[in-house]
Chain A
Amino acid sequence: MGLASEKPDLTRQSDVDLVRLCLGGDKSAFAELVRRHGSLLRTHIRRMGAQGADADDMAQEAFMSAYEHLSEFRFDGAFVGWLKRIASRRYLKRMRANQKYLLTDDMSPFEPEPSANEGDFRAHNLDAALNRLKPVERLCVTLNFSGDLSHQEIADELKLPLGTVKSHIKRAMDQLKAILNAGSTVVMETGT
């Protein structure tokens, strides 16, 4: 009989229903979306190449931006896909401002973090394997596999020829398979 019984259980709502509730002014519905997809978005941004606190900042900005643009969500795809696109956009924008992170063959800024050193590496640790790729290969393969962007969309975003994007993804996939297949005891030598 109480008012509490009229409030829907947000954990049982679909993303689309939560978005509709948000559009109706229910902020707790958006909090549920953050709870549901926060880790996924943080991981997506990290896999593109952002590091620690930067990745969390960008994830936070992406959520806040999504909230402000919620009325533009067209319900023709998964909400999380839309969210990832916003995050990807923010990451690429940030990366363009720091050209040293993008489209470079220099691996020095991307040495594996201490937690991902040889001793801790596991055969199926995708994140550790991604750390071994060149930044542009890592970015392309993550945008394709995690961000669900087509090769053409990636080429447009990165302003690279389509063929270059395809070869980056191909090379990245070959290396990921090699690294992940090699097993935990193998010391990787990328690019060789």
Chain B
Amino acid sequence: MSDMKLDDGDIRDLFAVTPVYNDAPAFEARVMRGLRLKLWLRQGFVVLAGLVGGLYALAQFVRVPNWTFGEAVMSGSQAARVETGQTFRAGVEFFDVIGRKAVDLFYSSVHYLGIMQTPIFFWVSFSLCLACLALYYAYSQEETI
């Protein structure tokens, strides 16, 4: 055995030999657990981002200048409750109030459209999109060798 001479092919064969690990099942379980956790975190992050974004959008929606959705609804519904004898009229007024406020909202949205047309809005959006693309590209290139 000791006088056996190894050549390159023998060394290659030795590299092809894989030892058996006692903890192989534990390693498999660990990989799959990590994978599930990562996928769960990613889905959770998307849901959370949607929730935060939705809440932010809602907050912006409620803060539209000269438009108080909450107050209008409350006053309309209060009128509907108080004037029990004139429910139908209160209802009509309630929807009338909502209709007028909707028109107000439409006009005030022009203000936001105006913001969206400013150069600063464009550059901020453009930079964010570029950053997203760059991150995606860097991530996709990471594993190629």
Contact residues of A with B, CB < 8 Å? Answer: 27, 30-31, 34-35, 38-40, 42-43, 47, 56, 59-60, 63-67, 69, 72, 85-86, 88-90, 93, 123-124, 126-127, 142, 145-146, 149, 153, 157, 173, 176-177, 180-183
Contact = CB atoms under 8 A, between A and B. Distances in A.
Q: Which 9 A-B pairs have the closest CB atoms?
A: A183-B2, A126-B14, A145-B15, A85-B145, A89-B145, A40-B18, A146-B15, A34-B28, A63-B31
B28 A31 contact: yes
Contacts of B28: 31, 34-35, 38
Given A35-B28, A64-B34, A123-B1, A181 B6 contact: yes
Interface of B: 1-2, 4-8, 11-12, 14-15, 17-21, 24-25, 27-28, 30-32, 34-35, 38, 140, 142-145
A67 B35 contact: yes
A109 B1 CA distance: 32
Contact of B32 (A31, A66, A153, A181): A31
B15 A60 contact: no
21 contacts: A30-B32, A34-B32, A35-B24, A38-B28, A39-B20, A43-B19, A56-B30, A60-B30, A60-B31, A60-B34, A66-B143, A89-B142, A89-B144, A123-B1, A123-B2, A173-B8, A177-B11, A180-B11, A180-B14, A181-B4, A183-B2
Nearest to B2: A183
B24 A38 contact: yes
Contacts of A64: 31, 34-35, 38
Contact of B145 (A38, A56, A153): A153
Contacts, number: 95
B45 to A, nearest CB: 15
The binding surface of chain A is classed by DSSP as helix
Contacts of B32: 27, 30-31, 34
A86 B143 contact: yes
Interface centre among B24, B27, B144 (most CB of A within 10 A): B27
A85 B34 CA distance: 21
Contacts of B17: 126
Contact of A157 (B1, B7, B140, B145): B145
A181 B5 contact: yes
